């Protein structure tokens, strides 16, 4: 699975320096999408954010009955077992290995809410994340801007990767193979002393700001829409837009992006994510982070990635294809995924993090006893 389901966008190509200067920018000209294009966009918009009926609760949900939903979920669980009920299996495999933890933010550490500015994590979750980071190197990897996700999480014990991994600050100095080719620079900033900043889409910034302004301007009349600037990518939210206007919002975004062929769309949970066409995603980001942490290869490393969204699939895929860790998808409905295990919602993520801490403490205690 790839998160780049972009029926109307250009294929991803590697980053090339100075690209921004060659990008043609014309005034957006409205174009009429044909029916096929519209239905392609709408299908992607719907399938990336399926209607959800919380399991065990009645809700106004068109389609299958609640019973059928729950049967479908139980069947799906056989293929993607709960990371809680499979905890022993996971920790048996983790024995003697160094765990590296990667956590998505929205829908994983904080519940999905209508207003993206109000996606706060609970204090209980914050404390679970803080504790787990005492025992395992942990990174939050989010589509949000790095500053925004840090503002939400507020913990210094972690590394932060914003804009889907296009903005990372950390001890990235071990990753020689990536340094030269991916715009990684040592920071002169006092705040990030001795750390490196990795921003492979830096040259796109002026263009991204331009697209942001254009999106704001051209969607302001669509009730419920919201454009979020995530620094190296943009989000056009339609969660609160009446479904009859989804085609309209798709049309407007399409019209703008026609004049920016170096920007493309991916689909998240009731959000169109606009990002530069560079060969970089959350999967590549975790490879770089693992390499930086000196944990890129060897049988003694176990990366665990927890995420809920289509963009997290790039990371699940890297782990599955490399046969070197576990992806855990957060979902209360069956979905196609490259993850190995599942958790129903952020509250189960919190239980899983706490269980990891208890397990690690028991390992340490056992090691002390036998020493």
Helix (H, G, I), strand (E, B) or coil at 182: coil
Which are the contacts of 78, defined by CB distance < 8 A and separation ≥ 6? none
Q: Which of 1, 71, 113, 185 binds ligand L263DTV3 (CB under 6 A)?
A: 113
Is residue 197 within 8 A of residue 183, CB to CB? The reply is: no
Residue 52 as a binder of ligand L263DTV3 (CB under 6 A): the answer is: no
DSSP state of 171: -
Choose one: 81-89, 123-131, 153-161, 234-242; the region binding ligand L263DTV3 (CB under 6 A): 234-242
Q: Are 270 and 239 in contact (CB under 8 A)?
A: yes
Q: How far is the CB of 307 from ligand L263DTV3 (least distance, A)?
A: 7
Using the rule CB under 6 A, which residue among 41, 44, 101, 107 binds ligand L263DTV3? 107
The one among 137, 200, 268, 303 contacting ligand L263DTV3 by CB under 6 A: 268
Nearest to 208 by CA among 152, 255, 264: 264
**What CA–CA distance (Å, rounded) separates 101 from 99?**
6
Report which residue's Cβ sits closest to ligand L263DTV3. 143
Least gap, CB of 163 to ligand L263DTV3 (angstroms): 9
CB of 157 to ligand L263DTV3, least distance (A): 18
> Is-contact 82 328, C-beta < 8 A?
no
Nearer to ligand L263DTV3, 291 or 309 (CB): 309
From 61-69, 107-115, 131-139, 296-304, span contacting ligand L263DTV3 (CB under 6 A) = 107-115
Structure tokens at 134: 């005492």
Closest C-alpha among 56, 100, 93 to residue 291:
100
What is d(CA 335, CA 273) in angstroms, rounded to the nearest whole number? 20
Q: Which residues would be at the binding site for ligand L263DTV3 (CB under 6 A)?
A: 104-107, 112-114, 116, 119, 142-144, 228, 230, 235, 237, 239, 268-271, 273, 309, 311
């Amino acid at each position: 699975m790839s998160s780049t389901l972009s029926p109307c966008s250009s294929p991803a190509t590697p980053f090339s320096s100075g690209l921004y200067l060659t990008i043609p920018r014309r005034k957006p000209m409205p174009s009429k999408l044909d029916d096929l294009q519209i239905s392609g966009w709408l299908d992607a918009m719907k399938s990336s954010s399926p209607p959800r009926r919380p399991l065990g609760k009645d809700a106004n949900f068109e389609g299958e009955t609640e019973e059928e939903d729950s049967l479908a979920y139980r069947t799906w669980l056989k293929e993607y077992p709960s990371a809680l009920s499979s905890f022993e299996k996971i920790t048996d495999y983790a024995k003697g290995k160094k765990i590296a933890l990667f956590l998505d933010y929205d829908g994983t550490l904080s519940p999905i809410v209508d207003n993206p500015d109000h996606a706060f994590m609970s204090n209980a979750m914050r404390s679970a994340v803080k504790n787990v980071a005492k025992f395992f190197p942990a990174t939050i990897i989010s589509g949000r801007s790095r500053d925004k996700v840090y503002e939400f999480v507020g913990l210094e014990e972690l590394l932060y990767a914003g804009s889907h991994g296009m903005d990372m600050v950390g001890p990235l100095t071990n990753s020689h193979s990536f340094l030269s080719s991916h715009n990684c620079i040592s920071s002169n900033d006092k705040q990030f002393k001795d750390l490196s900043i990795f921003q492979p889409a830096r040259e796109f910034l002026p263009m991204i700001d331009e697209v942001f302004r254009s999106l704001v301007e051209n969607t302001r009349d669509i009730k419920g829409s919201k454009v979020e600037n995530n620094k190296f990518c943009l989000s056009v939210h339609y969660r609160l837009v009446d479904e009859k206007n989804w085609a309209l919002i798709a049309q407007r975004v399409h019209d703008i992006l026609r004049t920016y062929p170096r920007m493309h769309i991916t689909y998240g949970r009731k959000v169109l994510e606009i990002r530069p066409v560079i060969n970089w995603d959350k999967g590549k980001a975790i490879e770089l982070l693992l390499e930086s942490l000196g944990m890129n290869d060897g049988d003694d490393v176990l990366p665990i990635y927890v995420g809920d969204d289509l963009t997290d699939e790039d990371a699940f895929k890297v782990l599955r294809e490399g046969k070197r860790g576990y992806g855990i998808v957060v979902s209360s409905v069956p979905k196609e995924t490259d993850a190995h295990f599942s958790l129903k919602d952020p509250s189960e993520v919190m239980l899983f993090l706490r269980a990891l801490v208890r397990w690690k403490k028991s390992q340490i205690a056992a090691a002390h006893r036998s020493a």
